[in-house]
Amino acid sequence: MRIDARLVHEPFRPEAELAGFADDGAGAIASFTGLCRPATKDGDAVTSLFLDHHPRLTEGSLHDIAASAERFGVNAVRIVHRCGAIAPGEAIVFVAAAAAHRRAAFDAVDFLMDRLKTDALFWKREDRLDGPRWIEPTEADRADRARWND
């Protein structure tokens, strides 16, 4: 399985990441892009998101998570993840998987996103009009992650 997992400090273009993810022999490519929302789920405005990271281990965690998609028998996976200050509307994460058939590609992307939401080495702060707030995984995130436990 080909793995490309990258931590990026500047805005990136998800469409360019998808265009560059051709995989000879794949019959299916699935992808997901996560964007910075302009508001919290309670409707409070978010002025920016800050993703703190470890200078060496965060990218390693992205690579480990990408490698765990091997269980789906996919040919290739790509993870691109932002860190630092992210403005509403900017991409936070791009995930793609290439496989012989669609089900493996869909499942791998779904699985990788659930793992990224709980296991990636980040500390997330929402900057709101009423001040900053550090975020931890929700019960819903943990339940999504637990769907894949054997």
Partner 1 sequence: MITIGFYGRLAERLGRQVDLDLPDGVSLSELRAYFDGLDADKVRALVNDETALDDIWVYPGDRVDFLPPLSGG
Q: Is 93 in the site for partner 1 (CB under 8 A)?
A: yes
Shortest Cβ distance from residue 118 to partner 1 (Å)?
Answer: 5
Q: Output 26 or 108, the one with its CB closest to partner 1.
A: 108
Which residues lie across from 35 on neighbouring strands? 91
Q: Is 125 in the site for partner 1 (CB under 8 A)?
A: yes
Q: Is 147 in the site for partner 1 (CB under 8 A)?
A: no
Q: Is 54 in the site for partner 1 (CB under 8 A)?
A: yes
Instruction: Determine the Cα–Cα distance for residues 149 and 51; give it in Å rounded to an integer.
Output: 27
Buried b (16+ CB within 10 A) or exposed e, 102-130: eebbbbbbbbbbbbbbeebbbebebebee
Q: Is 108 in the site for partner 1 (CB under 8 A)?
A: no
Q: Is 120 in the site for partner 1 (CB under 8 A)?
A: yes
Buried b (16+ CB within 10 A) or exposed e, 17-33: beeebebeebebbbbbe
Exactly one of 16, 22, 35, 57 binds partner 1 (CB under 8 A); which one?
Answer: 57
Q: Residue 74, exposed/middle/buried by CB under 10 A (0-12, 13-18, 19+)?
A: buried
Select from 13-21, 23-31, 51-59, 97-105 the region that touches partner 1 (CB under 8 A).
51-59
Exactly one of 14, 66, 98, 117 binds partner 1 (CB under 8 A); which one?
Answer: 117
